[in-house]
Chains A and B, each alone.
Chain A
């Protein structure tokens, strides 16, 4: 998958892959109609480098599992339908909207949420430090998703141009409009603003 995931690319991808972007009643009915046993539902996820056994319903989204079963509430659900990017996490290093990814489909993937990007000694990731320096978050509800998209970008492209950064971040909505400060944060984290 292209690491520079934009919302448009993502939505296209979901449509063409047939993946479920579910919310509300349809999601729960889908679960009710399955006959999956408890043994089949129990999966072990690789989340932030740790093995996490968890009981996962067949149509359960990764955002739901992270927030409500693994207590990783740093991942936010802003829209629950692939529009805002607040729930962005990394799957094998690639940003994905976790509200639109089925947990059962990521059993063999490395999941990284915002709780997993600090260094082992607890130091904030360079992106997080840069966002602090730029005072980038306003309300902060989109911030975890912004962090994850920026981390993915800099992992694949350590010194992006401002336009490359803009494109890479464009799948993350910020209702407060703090885009310029997040973008400055990406450039700062890449060492291009000091």
Chain B
């Protein structure tokens, strides 16, 4: 019987957060520390012709300047730490100045002369694909994968920038909401026979769509501080991940990972932008080594906009064929991603979302990600899937309407189940209970009754709409390591290499170890937050994967400890390990419970017995990171360590369904979310209160994507128009519903011993999809096919202005 899984607890860092005592990277100081500041590019494209820092270096208190020349070369489009030959967006870091005070460092920036050579630039991907269109890089506008035959037939996989232009006919087709038949793509895949699928359809829907990129805007800018001591680099950084950063960050400083102590007690938001080491992290450690002083590099809010990553925007076209029974027979999908300066499009994931939602028998996907001279793009909460959910929901409603089906029942008929397949690979999932979630959500929201209520309620010129949406993201991984230690004090020490993103999954996953060893939570201690706490190899804290991945690692490590407890007891008290069991922090004989050892006694015996019991030996298959961690604690207790070799296959999915009712003011175009209810299919809920917070936080993100957040660039000068929080418009208290409901199907996933899967990312997808669906419902099925759908778009539609989905652009309006 479980004592830890499915029960509330207080993660150990919560008190530090409410008291202000927990430390973020910028909260640390070090004797002799100098302060570094960035000079950024004022141009969207060009190259650095010359840097004259002589005046700055003559200033009292300035201790050094750090440029691209102080780092290994970074060929395009490598998102260099500091740009030189390839300046590709406004705000790109060019150099860093360090001084004994922040004031001097800032003033020194003004005394540096940088000569730039300008280049052509482009901020809209379709403009770049147009014949004669500008390219973001001199070499071209698209990254393509290359494959050559190497020695002995071994393929050499590479990549190069190419210049791709579409014929004007394809551009015109795309801009007018039609299939860009003769457009060139870099990713194409298909399964089944889409022509046959459309032929057997009773209705075919074609729609264009556009979704906007927008910045992550983590509230904690990515400040870092580093110093060197006894040959090791101590690096305070802001990251979603902990152990997953070790190798990459060490490579940035060209040191052995064993010589890096990465310290990351708390992180002020990441949302995908801080999963692994990001380029600016290379500065503090290398500059500190150069100056032989601790260096703090503080990032401003505006700089966080520039270098803090952003969601990729997309322009697309979709064609859906629906059979008489409401089953989707075929899908044809085109996506042009705005990859920003790093080319990071998520079109393939968007297509994956379509396969989850519709389970089409026949599908074709064509995609291309185009560089623009805008900020770097990367993973942001459900990249690809969530923005696809936003535009797909009203289109799905339209498909349901043409076959005269209820919108929820249409989704229920098509969505993935445990036997379903996903994405290009058409591979399976560990389990999926989205239909059960839809059924539960219908009851929770009272769908059947509410959709039959009048849209006009007599509240002025307002109209109501009700919507439903589905969010999905892959939610788990395999093969990482777990590490626990039973001390001679009898306490359980759980070593976690998971980062502290704010999801508390680092703590939730540790509950699995406490469960297996049946140790009361107040007798457990989590060791985390800095490498020298001896942390095992862990996954990046992103992609909603931690709950599935690290309940498994902690489970297997704890099982290893249980086995060792029994072996120690058998060795001391006789019999075989199978004659023993555990309970009450004791290992004892099944036939005579008085014959046993406390965990404290067993830990002492483990030290005396040595070998694998005390970590002097460890399994061959654990990662070198875990090997170092075990070496750091060997001989201090009973060590449980194991790689997750639990058998199984398929992707663990995270699924959420959302239901909402909005009230739209037809005079202003503004709408209020009256009610939001969501149901998750994430296996067993491990930590109920935190589950609710995750569901609600994601719903808030959905409001931002639905109505508020977007990049806006000036196409004439390539300047961003909304670098601040107030202009980028993340939702505030006043923009969101603050009495929402959330629930879970709570059916255990069969491939996780704790039963759980992750849920962080699809919470946003379900929310934005439900809102978009409700907005369309309020307007009698009108399709905006945009994310966000801003108030001005709605007003223009209501006023009968010439707003249309034609010529939609990303980044600009």
Measured CB to CB, the residues of A under 8 A from B are 7, 23-25, 27-29, 31-32, 57, 67-68, 71-81, 83-84, 86, 113-115, 118, 124, 127-128, 131-132, 134-144, 147, 162, 166, 169-170, 172-181, 183
User: 1/0 contact trace for B209-252 toward A, CB 8 Å?
Assistant: 00000000111110000000000000000000000000000000
Q: Which residues of B contact A118 (CB under 8 A)?
A: 19
Is A132 a contact partner of B110 (Cβ separation < 8 A)?
A: no
Partner among B13, B22, B267, B696 whose Cβ is within 8 Å of the Cβ of A177? B696
Partner among B107, B690, B733 whose Cβ is within 8 Å of the Cβ of A172? B733
Is B219 a contact partner of A139 (Cβ separation < 8 A)?
A: yes
Q: Which residues of B contact A140 (CB under 8 A)?
A: 13, 16-17, 22, 266, 268, 502
Distance in angstroms from B20 CB to nearest chain A CB is: 2
Is B697 a contact partner of A132 (Cβ separation < 8 A)?
A: no
Bound complex: CA of A74 vs CA of B599, how far in Å? 39
Instruction: Given A79-B725, A177-B697, A179-B696, output 14 extra A-B contacts at Cβ < 8 Å.
Output: A29-B107, A75-B20, A76-B24, A78-B219, A132-B10, A135-B693, A139-B219, A139-B501, A140-B13, A140-B502, A142-B219, A143-B20, A176-B697, A177-B698
Q: Which residues of B contact A142 (CB under 8 A)?
A: 219
User: 1/0 contact trace for B615-641 toward A, CB 8 Å?
Assistant: 000000000000000000000000000
Is A176 a contact partner of B502 (Cβ separation < 8 A)?
A: yes
Choose among A137, A166, A172, A183 the residue with the greatest number of B CB atoms under 10 Å from its CB: A137
Choose among B20, B106, B503, B726 the residue with the greatest number of A CB atoms under 10 Å from its CB: B20
Partner among B109, B220, B739 whose Cβ is within 8 Å of the Cβ of A141? B220
Is B219 a contact partner of A173 (Cβ separation < 8 A)?
A: yes
Distance in angstroms from B38 CB to nearest chain A CB is: 11
User: 1/0 contact trace for B97-140 toward A, CB 8 Å?
Assistant: 00000110011011000000000000000000000000000000
Bound complex: CA of A61 vs CA of B218, how far in Å? 22
Is B109 a contact partner of A25 (Cβ separation < 8 A)?
A: yes
Q: Which residues of A contact B221 (CB under 8 A)?
A: 78
Bound complex: CA of A73 vs CA of B236, how far in Å? 15
Is A139 a contact partner of B724 (Cβ separation < 8 A)?
A: no
A-B contact pairs, 10 of them (CB 8 A): A28-B103, A73-B23, A78-B220, A124-B18, A124-B19, A135-B689, A135-B693, A141-B24, A141-B219, A173-B725
Q: Which residues of B contact A139 (CB under 8 A)?
A: 218-220, 266-270, 501-502
Is B10 a contact partner of A135 (Cβ separation < 8 A)?
A: yes
Is A25 a contact partner of B107 (Cβ separation < 8 A)?
A: yes
User: A32-B107, A175-B217, A177-B700 given as contacts; is B269 within 8 A of A141 (CB)?
Assistant: yes
- Please name the residue on chain B nearest to A77 by beta carbon: B26
Q: Is B730 close to A, CB under 8 A? A: yes
Is A179 a contact partner of B733 (Cβ separation < 8 A)?
A: yes
Bound complex: CA of A144 vs CA of B19, how far in Å? 7
Chain B, range 66-105, C-beta contacts under 8 Å to A:
102-103
Is B107 a contact partner of A7 (Cβ separation < 8 A)?
A: no
Choose among B17, B689, B739 the residue with the greatest number of A CB atoms under 10 Å from its CB: B17
Which 7 residue pairs spanning A and B have beta carbons closest together?
Answer: A74-B20, A177-B700, A141-B268, A139-B502, A140-B17, A177-B697, A138-B502
Q: Which residues of A contact B27 (CB under 8 A)?
A: 67, 73
Is A79 a contact partner of B301 (Cβ separation < 8 A)?
A: yes
User: A25-B107, A25-B109 given as contacts; is B725 within 8 A of A84 (CB)?
Assistant: yes
Bound complex: CA of A127 vs CA of B300, how far in Å? 30
Bound complex: CA of A115 vs CA of B20, how far in Å? 7
Is B103 a contact partner of A31 (Cβ separation < 8 A)?
A: yes
Chain B, range 689-721, C-beta contacts under 8 Å to A:
689-690, 692-693, 696-701
Bound complex: CA of A177 vs CA of B269, how far in Å? 11
Is B690 a contact partner of A180 (Cβ separation < 8 A)?
A: no
User: A81-B724, A140-B266 given as contacts; is B696 within 8 A of A74 (CB)?
Assistant: no
Measured CB to CB, the residues of B under 8 A from A are 8, 10-11, 13-24, 26-27, 29, 102-103, 106-107, 109-110, 217-221, 266-271, 300-302, 501-504, 689-690, 692-693, 696-701, 724-726, 730-734, 736-740
Distance in angstroms from A154 CB to nearest chain B CB is: 15
Choose among B16, B21, B29, B726 the residue with the greatest number of A CB atoms under 10 Å from its CB: B726
Q: Which residues of B contact A25 (CB under 8 A)?
A: 106-107, 109-110
Q: Which residues of A contact B268 (CB under 8 A)?
A: 76, 78, 139-141
User: A134-B689, A177-B696, A177-B736 given as contacts; is B724 within 8 A of A83 (CB)?
Assistant: yes
- Please name the residue on chain B nearest to A130 by beta carbon: B18
Is A138 a contact partner of B697 (Cβ separation < 8 A)?
A: yes
Q: Which residues of A contact B20 (CB under 8 A)?
A: 72-75, 113-115, 143-144, 147
Q: Which residues of B contact A31 (CB under 8 A)?
A: 103
Bound complex: CA of A145 vs CA of B72, how far in Å? 41
Bound complex: CA of A183 vs CA of B733, how far in Å? 9
Distance in angstroms from A47 CB to nearest chain B CB is: 13
Bound complex: CA of A166 vs CA of B737, how far in Å? 11
- Please name the residue on chain A nearest to B13 by beta carbon: A140
Is A80 a contact partner of B219 (Cβ separation < 8 A)?
A: no
Q: Which residues of A contact B700 (CB under 8 A)?
A: 174, 176-177, 179
Distance in angstroms from A70 CB to nearest chain B CB is: 12
Bound complex: CA of A131 vs CA of B19, how far in Å? 10
Is B14 a contact partner of A83 (Cβ separation < 8 A)?
A: no
- Please name the residue on chain B nearest to A163 by beta carbon: B738
Q: Which residues of B contact A68 (CB under 8 A)?
A: 102
User: A139-B219, A183-B733, A183-B738 given as contacts; is B14 within 8 A of A132 (CB)?
Assistant: yes
Is B219 a contact partner of A170 (Cβ separation < 8 A)?
A: no
Is B725 a contact partner of A128 (Cβ separation < 8 A)?
A: no
- Please name the residue on chain A nearest to B301 by beta carbon: A79
Is A179 a contact partner of B13 (Cβ separation < 8 A)?
A: no
Is B19 a contact partner of A179 (Cβ separation < 8 A)?
A: no
Q: Which residues of B contact A27 (CB under 8 A)?
A: 106
Q: Which residues of B contact A124 (CB under 8 A)?
A: 15, 18-19
Distance in angstroms from A190 CB to nearest chain B CB is: 15
Choose among A73, A118, A142 the residue with the greatest number of B CB atoms under 10 Å from its CB: A73
Is B732 a contact partner of A173 (Cβ separation < 8 A)?
A: yes
- Please name the residue on chain B nearest to A31 by beta carbon: B103
Bound complex: CA of A115 vs CA of B16, how far in Å? 11
- Please name the residue on chain A nearest to B9 by beta carbon: A135
Bound complex: CA of A169 vs CA of B738, how far in Å? 12
Distance in angstroms from B729 CB to nearest chain A CB is: 10
Q: Which residues of B contact A169 (CB under 8 A)?
A: 733
Bound complex: CA of A140 vs CA of B21, how far in Å? 11
- Please name the residue on chain B nearest to A185 by beta carbon: B18
- Please name the residue on chain A nearest to B106 by beta carbon: A28
Q: Which residues of B contact A176 (CB under 8 A)?
A: 269, 502, 697, 700
Distance in angstroms from B689 CB to nearest chain A CB is: 5
Distance in angstroms from A82 CB to nearest chain B CB is: 8
Is A177 a contact partner of B731 (Cβ separation < 8 A)?
A: yes
Partner among B22, B218, B693 whose Cβ is within 8 Å of the Cβ of A136? B693
Bound complex: CA of A141 vs CA of B221, how far in Å? 10
Is B733 a contact partner of A76 (Cβ separation < 8 A)?
A: no
User: A175-B219, A180-B696 given as contacts; is B301 within 8 A of A81 (CB)?
Assistant: yes
Bound complex: CA of A64 vs CA of B781, how far in Å? 52
- Please name the residue on chain A nearest to B763 by beta carbon: A177
Distance in angstroms from B709 CB to nearest chain A CB is: 11
User: A83-B724, A175-B269 given as contacts; is B220 within 8 A of A76 (CB)?
Assistant: yes
Is A80 a contact partner of B300 (Cβ separation < 8 A)?
A: yes
Partner among B13, B18, B734 whose Cβ is within 8 Å of the Cβ of A128? B18
Distance in angstroms from A17 CB to nearest chain B CB is: 19
Is B724 a contact partner of A178 (Cβ separation < 8 A)?
A: no
